[in-house]
A = this chain, B = another copy of it.
Amino acid sequence: MYLRLLERCEANGQLTISSDDLAKQGGTTSAQVRKDLSFFGSFGKRGLGYSVPELAAEVREILGLRRRWRVSIVGAGKIGAALAQYRGFGQRGFDIVAVYDSSPEKIGLQWGELTVRDVNALDGDLTADAPDIVVLAIPSENAQALVDRVVAAGIHAILSFVPAQLHAPADVSIKTVNMAMELEGLSYWLSNRD
């Protein structure tokens, strides 16, 4: 979130920003901003605020965005297609290097520079030329078995669009995007806002 705010300042040519301004734009308090950033080191000068380019560079460094990351997608359905063709990933340093599916109608499809591969090739590919991150855009059935295969191949980061709870060892991070859950957050809001 801080990086998004700082990038907007960069785009506007703004050179410094106060913790007050960061707080206001981020919907938080300046005390929280100072606490968040102090967790990673000492930034900013009292009374002068933060240098936008310096803080942006620090946050990029913290987020691991000074290098490129290789991402493989399992599942060539609608979500897989949306992800594979989203330009924002490349701009932020995430390169989609492979897409897999189990359906004979999908295998062999050409998506830009990518060819949809047979998911049976996944384990071999993960061993021979491992990506950094695997994205799961598949149905719930067999999703846990797929996580187990990915973990067994030594992958430590998974982004899941699977609408089910998936389990992995503590040294593997699974982030879940669950769109039904987001809608439920909104129905909760609508039901309780009076």
Contacts and interface: CB of A to CB of B under 8 A. Distances in A.
A143 B191 CA distance: 26
A112 B18 CA distance: 51
Nearest to A187: B64
Interface string A96-137: 000000000000000000000000000000000000110000
Interface residue tally on A, bucketed by range:
35 or more
Given A81-B78, A190-B132, A175 B182 contact: yes
A79 interface: yes
Nearest to A186: B157
A33 B25 CA distance: 32
Given A64-B190, A132-B190, A177-B177, A183 B163 contact: no
Interface of A: 1, 3-5, 8, 25, 62-65, 69, 71, 77-79, 81-83, 85-86, 88-89, 92-94, 132-133, 156-159, 163-165, 171, 173, 175, 177, 179-193
Given A1-B181, A157-B189, 7 more contacts: A5-B165, A63-B188, A71-B183, A92-B183, A157-B190, A159-B179, A159-B182
